[in-house]
Amino acid sequence: MAKKCIGCGIELQSENSSRNGYLPENVLNGENKELLCQRCFKIKNYGQYIPVRMTREDYRDEVRKSIESAKVAIPVFDIIDFEGSFDDEILDILREMDSIIVINKLDLIPDEKHPSEVANWVKERLAEEGVAPLDIAIVSTKNGYGINGIFKKIKHFYPEGVTALVLGVTNVGKSSIINKLVGAKRSTVSKFPGTTLKSIEVKIPYTNITLIDTPGLIPEGRFSDLVCQECNQKIIPANEISRKTYKIDKDRVILLGGMIKLVNKTEGDLKPIFSLYASKGVTFHETNLERAEEILGNTALLNPPCEKCIDEYNKNNIITETLTIETGEELVFKGLGWLSVKRGPLTVEVTYPEAGELIVRNAFIKPKR
């Protein structure tokens, strides 16, 4: 029987060091039964990224195969990039299967919000997508908050045990959650997208609950996927995210890195008030129309994209559209950040790469009165 990497699930081989699953023959044929492929070993021990040779369809096929043996889905969503956590494949599964939703990264929310507030907002947002979960667990893998709650919810609905399909897009924290539930560092955890390559089955000790850790799906429309790996990691927040509030004149410009240009086009005397939220690795810069064109593309002032990836990034088709965002609404830049209108309406001209996706939603961060 072929041996598999306990970190990413790939079948191990010793014939070709440039292929996925490579391990030196003496290690592969040794006595150790818990083996890590060369890629997982370097990620875990050195934080070194080795590119993945799998397509989006490869990931989807792997998840589809795992559905057959599971009775309940446990999708993991990132509350900081909630819209970027969505994928049509995941939503289709959740419309057909019972699910216990896990919302990760509670610790990164910039304003104090009770977990019940987060759960209610998530429930309403999922209802818009036709998804009605059995329950919602709010967690933080960083400090361990809420992990035991996932276990309790599974036991409540499946007291005799169950096989659960754990799924999500890349970088939402699936593998971290599984490791905490099983009490061991098995699945490879990193900020690099696509770390898990094949589905891995693990059992929660002393229970009849089996978790299937699936590869992270790669969704369309995330701005974070349009830049190099170094910039990608700066966009994915590791600590509390940045927030800046604006009250600006008409035709003033705000740049989110070198990726998005926002121009205030609101008519009238009453200036709109809005806040921008993004990772601390994303530059916010306010300027005028003339200066904005000079600044865009200057990696010394704006980041991302960085000097290494700006030429590749500039190959994206850039488009402009005008949107009106009302008080209590947010404009989301999928995989990058969001704009929350405190006093509106705000009419804004947005220039951005066509491959990125914009979404208008009811505010997650409610305006304070």
What's the CATH code of the domain at 180? 3.40.50.300
Final residue in a domain of this structure, among 178, 197, 219: 219
- Averaged pLDDT, 296-300: 82
* Residue 42 shares a structural domain with residue 171: no
Structure token pair of residue 365: 């961060």
* Residue 79 shares a structural domain with residue 202: yes
* Residue 65 shares a structural domain with residue 198: yes
Number of domain units in the chain: 3
Final residue in a domain of this structure, among 50, 66, 89: 50
Final residue in a domain of this structure, among 219, 251, 267: 219
Percentage, residues of the chain above pLDDT 90: 58
Domain that holds residue 210: 53-219
* Residue 110 shares a structural domain with residue 238: no
Q: Are 190 and 232 in contact (CB under 8 A)?
A: no
Say if residue 5's pLDDT is above 50.
yes
* Residue 164 shares a structural domain with residue 96: yes
Q: 0.85 exceeded by the pTM?
A: no
Is residue 104 domain-resident?
A: yes
* Residue 90 shares a structural domain with residue 205: yes
The model's pLDDT over 316-336, given as tens digits with 9 standing for 90+, comes to 999 999 999 999 999 999 999
Distances in Å between the alpha carbon of 82 and those of 79, 104, 181, 253?
5, 10, 22, 26
* Residue 100 shares a structural domain with residue 160: yes
State CA 281 to chain mean position distance: 16
Helices 174-182 and 147-157, axial angle in degrees (round to 10)? 80
* Residue 28 shares a structural domain with residue 81: no
Structure token pair of residue 354: 């066509």
Alpha helices in the chain (DSSP H): 25-28, 38-46, 56-67, 88-96, 115-128, 147-157, 174-182, 229-235, 289-295, 310-313
The model's pLDDT over 156-201, given as tens digits with 9 standing for 90+, comes to 999 999 999 999 988 888 888 998 998 865 544 445 555 666 778 8
Report the DSSP pairing between strands 242-246 and 273-278.
antiparallel
The model's pLDDT over 61-93, given as tens digits with 9 standing for 90+, comes to 888 888 888 999 999 999 999 999 988 889 999
Counting Cβ atoms within 10 Å, is residue 31 exposed (0-12), middle (13-18) or buried (19+)? exposed
* Residue 145 shares a structural domain with residue 236: no
**Taking all residues of the chain, what is their mean pLDDT, rounded to a whole number?**
88
